[in-house]
Amino acid sequence: MKNSEEESSSVSPDPGSYGVERIEVVLDNADGVFMGGQSIAGTVVLQLAKPIEVLGLSIRCKGEARVHFTDRSVGIRRKFAAEESYVHLQSYLFGDGETKSQLASGVYPFSLELPEKIPCSFEGLYGRIRYSLRASLVVAEDVLLSSSILPFTLASLFDLNRDSLAPLPISETQSKSFIGQKEPLRMELALPVRGFVPGQSVPMDVTLNNESNVRVAKIRIVLKKVVTYHASDKSRRHKEIVVEIELPVSRACKSEEHFREEFDVPSIPPSGMAHCSIIDVRYALKVEACVDLGEWYYRMLQKNLKIRTSIIVGTVPLKNYEDVVERKAASPTDNGFDTLIPSDEQYERSQIYRSSKPDKDDPTGDEGDSDGEVSPYSPKYRVYKFNKSTKK
């Protein structure tokens, strides 16, 4: 059995020159979503022009995290990188990698068991956690014909019911006095809980109390994904704008005005990043009262009134807050009535959102994974549907 170093040094010629018309990994689970501790089952589809002599046909599963960024804080560009390995499984579906045998076209099944405590899939500007499968036809010790790399999603379990902060409400108040104004501008923000899952609405109550003569033009609400990438000697933080909402404020507003707004949490990775020490994810919520100052020198000196807090994104919703949508079973039970069962799990692809400060972003310098694979991949995260009328 060859290890990864031997594989990387093997020659990868044109498969067609050996009569290999197709070598492809196909998963039994078409969604390509798995959890730690589960088995990955599938087949390697092999089509040959004619039977050939080979040392073996293998399947390999790999999972690793990689971080890569540059730093210019002291005027010199320095590169930083880090990596962690979580999975490296290899199994021969034909042969043993040492003795030559004649191999024919066919469908070769495989099953590999994933470790339990591994981090979920993640893709960011300066790093990734990626899991993949690859089949290899070992023609000779130094000749390897490989399939395309097939990435898959590793989903994690973050139960909000086990987090002490997730069920607690959020209540924040801030005030600001402007130059030349006797009375301040006050703003309050309230949320019923702190923990949410993708697909769930985040309801916000914002109260603006303006006793000053400064006009507030709008309320700006921003949810940011804050990702911290860690290398041995340096860390790099990057912020992505996941949600951005602007609410107009009445020009006649001189006292108190209430706003109730909500947004749905999209398909995004959970907070934290359990079992990974080089990538961390959290979510920052900012509500900003944007003031309208006429003179440029006022705009230089005065800042908008801001409330900053955080929310927790999990993968299992709070039990006593909102009910997940249920559907009727396809067949009736013995008593003649359809039973209600949880709706089918639905996973949606995620994305890398626009940077909050794109002018400060550096080229990623991504050299790919240990196989040199740099193709983009969008992992999937579970997105729920809720019965809005059951909100507690």
Count of residues making up the chain: 392
Average pLDDT, the chain: 87
- pLDDT higher at 387 or 140: 140
Give the model confidence (pLDDT) of 350-378 as tens digits. 998 999 888 777 766 555 555 656 678 99
pLDDT at 180: 73
Q: What does each C-alpha distance from 251 to 215, 216, 292, 310, 331 come to in angstroms?
A: 7, 8, 10, 30, 58
What average pLDDT does this structure show over 74-79? 82
Give the model confidence (pLDDT) of 34-57 as tens digits. 999 999 999 999 999 999 999 999
Q: How confident is the model at residue 343 (pLDDT cuts 50, 70, 90)?
A: very low
- The DSSP secondary-structure symbol of 9 reads H
Report the C-alpha gap between 140 and 219 in whole angstroms: 66
Tell me the CATH number for domain 160-313: 2.60.40.640
Q: What is the greatest pairwise CA distance in the chain?
A: 90
Give the model confidence (pLDDT) of 101-144 as tens digits. 999 999 999 999 999 999 999 999 999 999 999 999 999 988 89
Q: Is 146's pLDDT higher than 60?
A: yes
Considering the domain 18-154, what is its CATH architecture?
Answer: Sandwich (2.60)
pLDDT at 390: 58
pLDDT at 341: 37
Give the model confidence (pLDDT) of 200-222 as tens digits. 999 999 999 988 878 888 999 99
Which string of DSSP letters, residue by residue, matches 284-327? EEEEEEEEE--SHHHHHH---EEEEEEEEE-SB--TTT-EEPEE
Domain range list for the chain: 18-154, 160-313
Whether 18-154 and 160-313 share one fold: the answer is yes
pLDDT at 333: 42
Report the C-alpha gap between 113 and 41 in whole angstroms: 9
